[in-house]
């Protein structure tokens, strides 16, 4: 049994996002090709005799939304630790969380952190739980947690718990940019329910065939990017559409809003242009949190 466990909590992007129906309990059924990227938070877990202590360290400007992250028991990492300790039956943990992934951004930051805690606690206390068991526990915390436990490139269905692994994508450069606006998840789902019949849907079969073929370029992948929530979010916040335009003007092969927003990402075949795009965004406005990353 180790005394310290460290984990990287990697951000995710939705390369596609579709709604396929609604369960009897009101949960929407999703179909989404999801991808982890290099951008990550750090999780450091230290065994204690009892209790859960969270130390939160944030990196990023005001637009990152880090100032809205709860530091107490409401934080998803504390809930994940509690779930694991209840299963183990005793013990405690000190959690140091270094935040880089922007909050409330559609990039799965909280889910990635919870997933990292589940993986790390599994090692910290030698619980020997399988990935399947960790995913079963993770879905109780959030729909994206099972994917964040596994990572890579996967098509996720159901409420996110049904996953099919796809071959890893090439290391494609990307830029992510989050405007300082909120897109309430409940509101965007309600808007979709009211306008869903008029929505065009992603070609999930096509993108899966492309990824299975291998050697996928940014230009090829860009042709399949589609999120049914994006036009609704742009209607709520035109800033999202402006970021898409700015990324295209800066050389992005394609752009898309990830999750329920508001973060937009652009795929670049030229790494230099990706770095230049972030610089350009920074010069135009200080109200956007932007950076570069790669598929991971």
pLDDT at 197: 58
pLDDT at 19: 94
pLDDT at 113: 98
Nearest to 243 by CA among 182, 290, 183: 290
Q: Which CATH class is domain 173-294?
A: alpha beta
Q: C-alpha distances in angstroms, 73 versus 92, 106, 200?
A: 14, 22, 40
Which of the residues are catalytic? 12, 144
pTM: 0.95
Per-domain residue ranges for the chain? 4-165, 173-294
Q: Which residues make Cβ contacts (< 8 Å) with residue 184, sequence separation at least 6?
A: none
Beta strand pairing call for 254-257 and 4-14: unpaired
DSSP 108: -
Answer whether the bond into residue 72 is a cis peptide, omega within 30°.
no
pLDDT at 52: 94
Q: Which residues make Cβ contacts (< 8 Å) with residue 13, sequence separation at least 6?
A: 34, 35, 37, 107, 174, 176, 256, 258, 265
pLDDT digits (tens), the chain, 296 positions: 779 999 999 999 999 999 998 888 888 899 999 999 999 999 999 999 999 999 999 887 777 889 888 877 889 999 999 999 999 999 999 999 999 999 999 999 999 999 999 999 999 999 999 999 999 999 999 999 999 999 999 999 998 889 999 999 999 999 999 998 999 988 999 999 888 656 789 999 999 999 999 999 999 999 999 999 999 999 999 999 999 999 999 999 999 999 999 999 999 999 999 999 999 887 766 678 999 999 98
CB 170 within 8 A of CB 218: no
CB neighbours of residue 165 within 10 Å: 10
Judge: domain 4-165, CATH 3.30.230.10.
Answer: yes
């Amino acid at each position: 049994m180790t005394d310290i466990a460290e984990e990287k909590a990697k951000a995710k992007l939705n390369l596609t996002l579709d709604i396929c129906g609604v369960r009897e309990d009101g949960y929407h059924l999703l179909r989404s090709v999801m991808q982890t990227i290099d951008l990550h938070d750090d999780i450091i877990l230290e065994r204690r005799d009892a209790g859960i202590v969270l130390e939160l360290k944030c990196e990023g400007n005001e637009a990152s939304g880090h100032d809205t992250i709860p530091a107490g028991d409401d934080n998803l990492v504390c809930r994940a630790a509690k779930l694991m300790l209840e299963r183990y039956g005793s013990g405690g943990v000190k959690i140091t969380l270094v935040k880089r992934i922007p909050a409330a951004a559609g990039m799965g930051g909280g889910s990635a952190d919870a997933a990292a805690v589940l993986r790390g606690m599994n090692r910290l206390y030698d619980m020997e739980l399988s990935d399947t068991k960790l995913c079963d526990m993770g879905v109780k915390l959030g729909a994206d947690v099972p994917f964040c436990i596994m990572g890579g490139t996967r098509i996720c269905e159901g409420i996110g718990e049904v996953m099919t692994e796809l071959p890893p994508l090439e290391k494609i450069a990307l830029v992510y940019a989050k405007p300082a606006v909120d897109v309430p998840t409940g509101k965007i789902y309600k808007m979709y329910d009211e306008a869903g019949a008029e929505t065009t849907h992603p070609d999930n079969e096509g993108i899966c065939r492309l990824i299975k073929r291998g050697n996928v370029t940014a230009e090829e992948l860009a042709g399949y990017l589609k999120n049914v929530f994006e036009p609704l979010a742009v209607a709520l916040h035109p800033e999202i559409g402006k970021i898409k335009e700015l990324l295209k003007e800066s050389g992005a092969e394609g752009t898309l809003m990830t999750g329920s927003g508001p973060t937009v990402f652009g795929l670049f075949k030229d790494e230099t242009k990706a770095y230049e795009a972030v610089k350009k965004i920074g010069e135009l406005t200080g109200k956007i949190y932007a950076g570069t990353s790669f598929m991971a």
